C-alpha cells in the first residue's frame, strides 16, 4: 500500500482457492501457508507476467537465508568465540532457523563444532516439529504445491489465531525436517504468554522490541541461559532475531491487558487434518 502495491487479506474473494475457503467458513482466520500460499500460487499460475516468490520452506529460500549464519560465524570470530554451544531460532516454515543454523550445522557435520546443539522453537498452538508427523504432504491447503516429505500437522490444519502469525504454518522446510528426523535438530514449543513475557524482559534489558515470532527464540535462549545459571556451565548461545516488533505493538498491548489466550495443543483438529495426507509410496 505505502509502496503503491495492492494488498488484500487472505483468504480473499479474488482467487478460486480463496473463494472456496470463504465458502467453507466465511469467518475463517486464514493461515499463512495453508491459505495464503494457495492463493499466491493460483495467481502466479494464471498470469503470464507473474512469478511467485515463496518466503520460506523451499530449499532455495533456506539457501538465500544462509547469509544469516555465515555472517554470524564471522561475527562470533570478531567476538573472540571459536564455537557455539547452542544455536536457537524460531520456526514457522523453517527459513530463518535454517539460515542461521545450516552454516553452524556445516561446522558440526565437519567435526569442527561436534557438540553444537540446535533448537527450533515453535508455538504450542502450531506444534509442527514437536507434535507433527514426518510424512508426505502438500505445502498449501488447496493441494497446488508439490507434495514434500516434511513434518506436518496436515495441510488442512488452521492454527489458532496466535499473534505470531508468521509461525502459523502446518508444515516445515524439508531440509529442517530431515535434520530434525535425523536427530541433529531439537525442537521445543511455547505458549504465547510466556513468549511475550520473554520479549518484554528482552526489551527492558536490551532496548529492542522483537517480533512475536522472534520472541519464541528468545524464550528458549532465556531457558537455556537459566539452566546454565543453575548448573554453573558457561555456554555460547547464538540466536536469530528474525524481525522487529514495531508493527506488533497492538499484540504487546493485548499481552499487557491480559487478553492473550494460551491455546491448548489442538490435538483433535490436528488428528482430523492428518487423516487427509496424500498417499505416496
Partner 1 sequence: METKYILDENDLPRQWYNIQADLPVPPLSPSYNPQTKTPIGPADLAPPIFAKELIRQEVSTKRYIDIPPLKCGTSSLSGDHLPPSTVPGGWRNS
Q: Which residues bind partner 1 (CB under 8 A)?
A: 2-3, 41, 44-45, 47-48, 50-55, 58-71, 74-75, 78-79, 95-96, 98-99, 102-103, 105-106, 109-110, 136, 138, 143-149, 174-175, 178-179, 182, 184, 242-244, 246-247, 278-280
Task: Decide if 84 contacts 116 (C-beta within 8 A).
Answer: yes
Q: Which does 167 bind (CB under 5 to 8 A by kind): partner 1, ligand PLP, none?
A: ligand PLP
User: For ligand PLP, which residue of 31, 242, 251, 273 counts as binding (CB under 6 A)?
Assistant: 242
- Tell whether residue 126 is a contact of ligand PLP (CB under 6 A): no
* Cβ-based nearer residue to partner 1, 28 or 149: 149
Q: In 3-state terms, what secondary structure has residue 66? A: helix
* Cβ-based nearer residue to ligand PLP, 93 or 266: 93
Side by side, the strands of the sheet bearing 237-239 are: 186-190, 117-123, 86-90, 237-239
Q: CB 171 → partner 1: shortest distance, Å?
A: 12
Strands 117-123 and 133-138: unpaired
Burial track 246-277 (b if 16+ CB lie within 10 A, e otherwise): eebeebbebbeeeebeebeebeebbeebbeeb
What is the distance of C-alpha 17 from the center of its chain?
23
Q: Dihedral (C-alpha) 93, 96, 102, 108: value to the nearest 10 degrees? A: -100
Residue 31, number of CB atoms within 10 A of its CB: 26
- Tell whether residue 171 is a contact of ligand PLP (CB under 6 A): no
- The residue number with the shortest CB distance to ligand PLP is 166
- Tell whether residue 91 is a contact of ligand PLP (CB under 6 A): yes
Q: CB 98 → ligand PLP: shortest distance, Å?
A: 8
Strands 147-152 and 133-138: antiparallel
Q: CB 92 → ligand PLP: shortest distance, Å?
A: 3
Contacting positions for ligand PLP (CB under 6 A): 56, 90-97, 166-167, 211, 213-214, 242-243
Amino acid at each position: 500500500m505505502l509502496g503503491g502495491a495492492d494488498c488484500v487479506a487472505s483468504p480473499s474473494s479474488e482467487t478460486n482457492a480463496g473463494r472456496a475457503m470463504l465458502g467453507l467458513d466465511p469467518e475463517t482466520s486464514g493461515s499463512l501457508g495453508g491459505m495464503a500460499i494457495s492463493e499466491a500460487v493460483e495467481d502466479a499460475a494464471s498470469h503470464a507476467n507473474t512469478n511467485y516468490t515463496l518466503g520460506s520452506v523451499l530449499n532455495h529460500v533456506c539457501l538465500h537465508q544462509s547469509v544469516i549464519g555465515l555472517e554470524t560465524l564471522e561475527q562470533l570470530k570478531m567476538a573472540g568465540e571459536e564455537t557455539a554451544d547452542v544455536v536457537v531460532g524460531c520456526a514457522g516454515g523453517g527459513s530463518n532457523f535454517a539460515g542461521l543454523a545450516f552454516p553452524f550445522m556445516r561446522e558440526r557435520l565437519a567435526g569442527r563444532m561436534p557438540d553444537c546443539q540446535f533448537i527450533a522453537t515453535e508455538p504450542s498452538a502450531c506444534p509442527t516439529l514437536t507434535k507433527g508427523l514426518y510424512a508426505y504432504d502438500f505445502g498449501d491447503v488447496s493441494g497446488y504445491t508439490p507434495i514434500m516429505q516434511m513434518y506436518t500437522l496436515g495441510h488442512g490444519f488452521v492454527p489458532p489465531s496466535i499473534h505470531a502469525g508468521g509461525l502459523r504454518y502446518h508444515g516445515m522446510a524439508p531440509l529442517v525436517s530431515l535434520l530434525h528426523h535425523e536427530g541433529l535438530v531439537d525442537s521445543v514449543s511455547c505458549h504465547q504468554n510466556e513468549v511475550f513475557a520473554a520479549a518484554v524482559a528482552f526489551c527492558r534489558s536490551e532496548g529492542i522490541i522483537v517480533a512475536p515470532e522472534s520472541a519464541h527464540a528468545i524464550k528458549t535462549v532465556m531457558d537455556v541461559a537459566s539452566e546454565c545459571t543453575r548448573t554453573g556451565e558457561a555456554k555460547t548461545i547464538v540466536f536469530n532475531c528474525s524481525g522487529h516488533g514495531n508493527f506488533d505493538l497492538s499484540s504487546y498491548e493485548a499481552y499487557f491487558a491480559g487478553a492473550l489466550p494460551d491455546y491448548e495443543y489442538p490435538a483433535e483438529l490436528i488428528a482430523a487434518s492428518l487423516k487427509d495426507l496424500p498417499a505416496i509410496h
